[in-house]
Chain A
Amino acid sequence: SYELTQPPSVSVSPGQTARITCSGDTLSNQRGHWYQHKAGQAPILVMYKDTERPSGIPDRFSGSSSGTTVTLTISGVQAGDEADYYCQSTVNRDSDPVVFGGGTKLTVL
Chain B
Amino acid sequence: QVELVESGGGVVQPGRSLRLSCGASGFTFGSHGMHWVRQAPGKGLEWVALISFDGRNKYYADSVKGRFSVSRDNSKSTLYLQMNSLGAEDTATYYCAKDISGSYSFPVSGGIDHWGQGTLVAVSS
- Which positions in A face B, CB cutoff 8 Å? 30-31, 33, 35, 37, 41-45, 48-49, 54, 84, 86, 88-90, 92, 94-103
Contacts and interface: CB of A to CB of B under 8 A. Distances in A.
A62 B94 CA distance: 28
Interface in B66-109: 95, 97, 100, 106-109
B110 interface: yes
Instruction: Across the A-B interface, give the 3 residue pairs with the lowest CB-CB distance, nearest first.
Output: A48-B111, A33-B111, A103-B44
Given A31-B107, A100-B46, A94 B59 contact: yes
17 contacts: A30-B107, A43-B95, A45-B111, A48-B110, A84-B44, A86-B45, A90-B106, A90-B107, A92-B106, A94-B59, A96-B62, A97-B109, A98-B59, A98-B108, A100-B45, A101-B44, A102-B44
A31 B99 CA distance: 14
Interface of B: 35, 37, 44-47, 50, 59-62, 65, 95, 97, 100, 106-118
Contact of B109 (A43, A54, A90): A90
Nearest to A95: B62
